[in-house]
Copies of this chain bind each other. A is one copy, B any other.
Amino acid sequence: MTTGVRRRMGVEERRQQLIGVALELFSRRSPDDVSIDEIASAAGISRPLVYHYFPGKLSLYEAALKRASEDLAGRFAEPHEGPLGARLLRVMRRFFDFVDDHGPGFSALMRGGPAVGSSTTNALIDSVRQAAYDQILSHLRVEDPPARLELVVRSWISLAESTALIWLDGRRIPRAELEKQLVHDFGALAAVSAAHDEEMGTLLRRAFKDEPGDGPFGDLIARLVNLAS
């Protein structure tokens, strides 16, 4: 029920409202297919007024992406307590919650949507990747990563992105399975790197030495032993 009284919003409040409306629309349809008219209509204001707050669709899109980026990066924060595999699994659940909530917007962005190639957009995407990278290193308790560890972590982050994109395209695999599989993929890629390089072996043995047999990494080893037999 509305009261019929329309309160005047402040500039920042109105901007935040429009960003929220845009993100809600982008969660159901690709930003390419959402017009400023629709955003204005959903916000209950006129099209020219939208342009008063955002000079063009790109600037509204970038503002929406900025809020979504901060939201996603915030979900990577995880207490430094308990086994690493279980921590990573919790983060993967929150990552898939985000992907689930922002499906079409996430796909459009990562596959090359309207704002891709803008330096603002690229910087925002990179900032999320960097947040994920920093979090993982902090949980591994590594401050000055060797090149091979950086490669494992950064390439796994891109694997997680592409896994999420492929999942969104039809959702043919239960997301809970993919969340766990990505944790296992991290362990597997780390193991391959450790199998190639002594320093990585030492580093990862130290990081994973307290993993319990019933955690995600213990589960991976049990599954692989079972597969091999």
Contacts and interface: CB of A to CB of B under 8 A. Distances in A.
A38 interface: no
Interface in A133-162: 147-148, 150-151, 154-155, 158-159, 161-162
Interface residues of A, number: 45
Given A122-B111, A155-B159, A158-B162, A193 B181 contact: yes
Contact of A184 (B159, B195, B223): B195
Contacts of A196: 177, 180-181, 184, 223
Interface stretch (A1-9, A13-21, A42-50, A166-174): A166-174
A173 B225 CA distance: 31
Interface string A103-146: 00000000111111100011000000000000000000000000
Instruction: Sort A-B residue pairs by CB-CB distance and give the 3 closest, nearest first.
Output: A195-B223, A158-B162, A188-B188
